[in-house]
Structure 1
Amino acid sequence: MKNWKRMLLSLAISVGLLSSAVPAMAAPQQQPAVKVDNQVVQYSLGTPIIDKGTTLVPLRTTLQALDVKLKGTADDTIHVVVDGKTITLKGKLKQINGVTYAPIRVVGDAAGYKVSWDAKTRAVLLVSKETETAQAGGRGFMWEVESNGNTVYLVGSMHIADDSFYPLREEFEEAFAEADYLGVEIDISKAADEAQQKLILDLGSYQDGTTLKDHVSSETYTKLGDILKKNGLEPNALDAFKPWVAESTLASLKSATAGYEASAGVDLYFIQKAIESKIPVIELESYESQLGMFNDFSKELQEETLKATLDNFDVLDDSVNQMAEMWKTGSDEQLLELTNNFSDNEEYNKAMLIDRNIGMADKIDGYLKSDEKEEYFIVVGAAHYLGEHGIVKLLEDKGYTVERK
C-alpha cells in the first residue's frame, strides 16, 4: 500500500572586501588565514599576506589545497590544470624568500571556488560549488513563466523543514527580492488566530456527543491509544477529534521528533520575509477550503489514512528524511514518483491534487494576463506542480512556456 507515503507527502510538501591595507609581513598578528571548505590550509613555506589590500598566498600550497595542478609560471602568467583543462591566469606574482605568491582571488576564481573575506576571523574563505550547494540547503524546485510583461515564479515548498534547508540558493532570494506579490496556498502565519483555531475545532471535532471511538474500528482505536501512551499522552487524548485531525496530529508529532517543523517550512520562511519587507501576501486558497476538504473525506478514507499512519508510525521520520533529501536534490523524477502516490485512491487524488491544482492554475493564469506588468513569487506544496494534472502541465495547456530554474 502506498497510502502512508501519500499521507506523508501531503504533510511534507502539500500541509567580503579585503579591508586591510597593512602588509601582514609588517604586523605578523595581522596575517590572514585561508580556509578551503572550512578547512584551514597549512603553509610550510611562507604564509598568506595582505599587500595593498590584496591577499597574496603561496601559490603551490594553495593550489594543492584546491586540488589544482600547477603547470607553470612566467612573469605574471600562471598556467594551471582544472578538471583536466589548462587555464591561463593573469595575476601579479610576487617572489618572497624564494616562494611564489599570487592573489588568492585570481587563483580561487579560476579553480571554481567562491572567494570571500571573513573580517571577524580574518580569514579568506574558499567554498567549492559542491559545498556551496550543500550549505545552501539544496536545489529545491522553481519554475518561471512570463507573459504580457508579467513574471511568475513557481516555487515548490516543503511545508515542514529544518535548519538544513537554509540558506536557500541565491536564485530563490533574487527572484523574491524582485517580487511585487507573494502567493501562497494559505497564510499560515495566521494559524494561531482565534478565528482559525475555532474553525479547526468546529470542523475537526464531533458536535453530536459521539467520540472518535464511535467512528473507527476497535483495532484502529486501540492502536492509536497505544501510540499516544508511548509518546507520553493519554490514550484518549484525541477522542474529541475526527480521524483526519488525529492522523495529522500523529504525523506532525513524528515529524517534529525528526526535527522537521512548520515553523521552518519554506512557505512560512517567505511569508515572514514578505511581512518584514511589506510585500502583499495573496492566498490562492483559504483555511476554509483546505480544512473543508479534509473534513469532507469519506469515513472510509479518513480511517484508511489514519490506520496507514498508525501502521507505519515507526518509519515515518525516515520517510520525511527521504523527502527532505528529494527536495534538496531538486529531482523532478523523485518528485513525480511521490506525486503519483496520490493516484492510488481516486477520492484522495481528486480532492488533494486535481481540483486544487485547477483552481491554483486558474489564478496564476489571471496574474499572467494582468496589464500591471508585475512579478509574482508563488510558493505552494511541491506535489502540486508535476504530473498529468500538475500546475506546470495545466499552464502549458493554456499556452504558456514554463521553464525549470
Structure 2
Amino acid sequence: MKLWRKMLLSLTVSASLLTAASVPAAMAAPQPATVKVNMQKVNYGTDAPVISEKTTLVPLRSTLKALDAELTGTTPDSITVVVNGKSITLQSKLTEINGVAYVPVRIIGDAAGYSVRWDAQTRTVQLVSTSPGLGGTEAPVAEASQTGRGFMWEVQSNGNTVYLVGSMHLADKSFYPLRKEYEEAFAKADHLGVEVDISKAAGEEQQKLIMQLGMYQDGSTLKDHISSETYTKLGDILEKNKMKRDALDPFKPWVAEVMISTLKPMEAGYEASAGIDLHFIQKAMERKIPVIELESYESQLNMFNNFSKQLQEKNLNTALDNYDEMGTAMDQMAEMWKTGNDQALLEFTNTMSDDAEYNQAMLTDRNIDMANKIDGYLKNGNKEEYFIVVGAGHYLGDQGIVQLLKNKGYDVVRK
C-alpha cells in the first residue's frame, strides 16, 4: 500500500512538478538529449544531439532525413532545404562538432512543419507534425482498436458542459490511441483546463523556482537533515544509477523523493512526454484554444516544500524502501487506467489517508480548490465547453472532485 502511495505522484501531481527531478538528475549525471519525431526516436549513432546555451543542436543531415527533408545548399549564415517539394532558406549558422554539421533543432523543425517541444524530465525534444502534408512523416494513424477506457465524466449546467478527464502524468505509447469519446469531446471544447501548463515547465523562471525552494540556502546539506540510515540508503540507490553518493546533497528530502520515485518508471519507458495531460496540451496548441491552469507550478512546489521535516523523510524512506518494485507498480497503475477500473483507482487514492498531513495537502485541499473553479466554469453562463484534465487520483472518494461537485447539486455522469 505504501508503494502505491508513492506511485500516486503520477496520478495526483502535475508532470511539471515531476520535472523537478530533472534538476538534481542533470546535476548528478548529465545525459545527452534525445530527439523524437512523432514519438519515434531518431538514431544518430555516435553523433548525439548536444545542448549549448539552452539550445539543442542536432546533426543537420541525419535530422533532415528523419523529417523527410532534403539539404540543397549551405552558406556561412544560411541553409537551403526542400520540404514537401518546396525550397526554403533558413537563416542559421552551422556549428561543426567532430567534423559533423550541427544546427538548432527548432529552426529546421519549424521549417518542416513540426511543433517543437522540450521535455525537461526526459531531456527529449519532441517534433510532432502539425499539418497533413508537411514534414513528409505525419503523426501515426490511430489504430482501429482503442487501448484504454481511462476515466471521464460529464457535467452540464446553465448551458455549459464540463468534461472531467483523469490523467496519468507519466505514460507510454501503449496508452494511445485514446478511445473516440475523448477526442470527440475535446474537439468540441472551447477551453482546456489542466493542473499546470507543463509545456512551460522547462522555462527559466520555473527552474529558478525549484532551485530556490528545493535547495538549502543556509549552507547545510541533505546529510544534515535526515538520519544516517536514510542517507546511506539514498547513497546506495544513487550508486546503482551511476551517480555519486552525495549527488543530492544540495537538495531537500522532497526533491530527492520525487527524483527516486521517477527513476524506475522512466527506466520502464513511462515518460511525461507521453502523459495524457501533455497529449491534450499539444492538441490545444494546435487548435489554438486557451489552456487554463487550475493550479500553478509554484503552488505545487510549495506544497511539497511545506511538508514537515518528519513527513519529508518518511516519504523519502518509502520511495527508497520500495525502489526496486516501482516499475511493476507503475505497470499495475497503467493497467488500472486502461481498464478504467474505478474500484482500483479508489483503492489507490485511499492509500493517501494513512497520513493526515499528506492526505490534506495532496488531495483534500487541492480537490476543494479545483472543484470550486470547475463550479465557476459551470455557472458563468457563457454556454461553453470545458475539457478538464487533472490527475486521476483527484476524482474519487468522499473528498474527490466528483463527490464535491455532487455535493454542490450537479449530476456527474461517468462516460
Normalised to the residue count of structure 2, the TM-score between the two structures is: 0.68
* 2:170 is the counterpart of 1:160: yes
Match of 1:398 in 2: 408
* 2:274 is the counterpart of 1:264: yes
Conserved? CA contact 1:14–1:384, under 8 Å: no
Structure 1: which amino acid aligns with 2:4?
A: K
* 2:286 is the counterpart of 1:287: no
Q: Distance in 2 between the 1:148 and 1:353 partners?
A: 28
TM-aligned CA distance change 1:336 to 1:383, over 3 Å: same
Normalised to the residue count of structure 1, the TM-score between the two structures is: 0.70
Structure 2: which amino acid aligns with 1:396?
A: K
Conserved? CA contact 1:14–1:158, under 8 Å: no
Conserved? CA contact 2:189–2:386, under 8 Å: yes
Secondary structure of the corresponding residue to residue 380 of structure 1: strand
* 2:348 is the counterpart of 1:349: no
Q: Distance in 1 between the 2:231 and 2:337 partners?
A: 34
Aligned residues: 288
Give, in angstroms, the shift of residue 136 of structure 1. Answer: 1.8
* 2:164 is the counterpart of 1:149: no
Match of 1:248 in 2: 258
Give, in angstroms, the shift of residue 254 of structure 1. Answer: 1.3
Give, in angstroms, the shift of residue 5 of structure 1. Answer: 1.7
Match of 1:228 among 218, 232, 238: 238
Match of 2:317 in 1: 307
Q: How does 1:6-405 map to 2 (within 5 A)?
A: 6-15=5-14, 135-405=145-415
Instruction: List gaps (5 residues or longer) in structure 1.
Output: 16-126
Q: Which one is further off, 244-253 or 151-160? A: 244-253
Secondary structure of the corresponding residue to residue 399 of structure 1: coil
Give, in angstroms, the shift of residue 3 of structure 1. Answer: 2.9
Structure 2: which amino acid aligns with 1:243?
A: P
Conserved? CA contact 2:367–2:394, under 8 Å: yes
Conserved? CA contact 2:12–2:362, under 8 Å: no
Structure 2: which amino acid aligns with 1:179?
A: A
Q: Distance in 1 between the 2:269 and 2:301 partners?
A: 25
TM-aligned CA distance change 1:13 to 1:322, over 3 Å: farther
Structure 2: which amino acid aligns with 1:270?
A: F
Give, in angstroms, the shift of residue 12 of structure 1. Answer: 4.1
Q: Distance in 2 between the 1:147 and 1:12 partners?
A: 27
Structure 1: which amino acid aligns with 2:166?
A: G
Q: Distance in 2 between the 1:233 and 1:254 partners?
A: 15
Q: Distance in 1 between the 2:2 and 2:365 partners?
A: 19
Conserved? CA contact 1:142–1:153, under 8 Å: yes
Larger Rg: 1
Secondary structure of the corresponding residue to residue 256 of structure 1: helix
Q: Distance in 1 between the 2:148 and 2:290 partners?
A: 27
Tell me how large the CA RMSD over aligned residues is.
1.3
Conserved? CA contact 2:11–2:393, under 8 Å: no
Q: Distance in 2 between the 1:165 and 1:367 partners?
A: 29
Give, in angstroms, the shift of residue 367 of structure 1. Answer: 0.2
Match of 1:5 in 2: 4
Structure 1: which amino acid aligns with 2:309?
A: K
Secondary structure of the corresponding residue to residue 393 of structure 1: helix
Give, in angstroms, the shift of residue 242 of structure 1. Answer: 0.5
TM-aligned CA distance change 1:181 to 1:147, over 3 Å: same
Residue deviations 1:24-66, cap 9 Å, x none? xxxxxxxxxxxxxxxxxxxxxxxxxxxxxxxxxxxxxxxxxxx
Q: Distance in 1 between the 2:4 and 2:220 partners?
A: 30
Secondary structure of the corresponding residue to residue 8 of structure 2: helix
Give, in angstroms, the shift of residue 252 of structure 1. Answer: 1.4
Structure 2: which amino acid aligns with 1:6?
A: R
Give, in angstroms, the shift of residue 404 of structure 1. Answer: 0.1
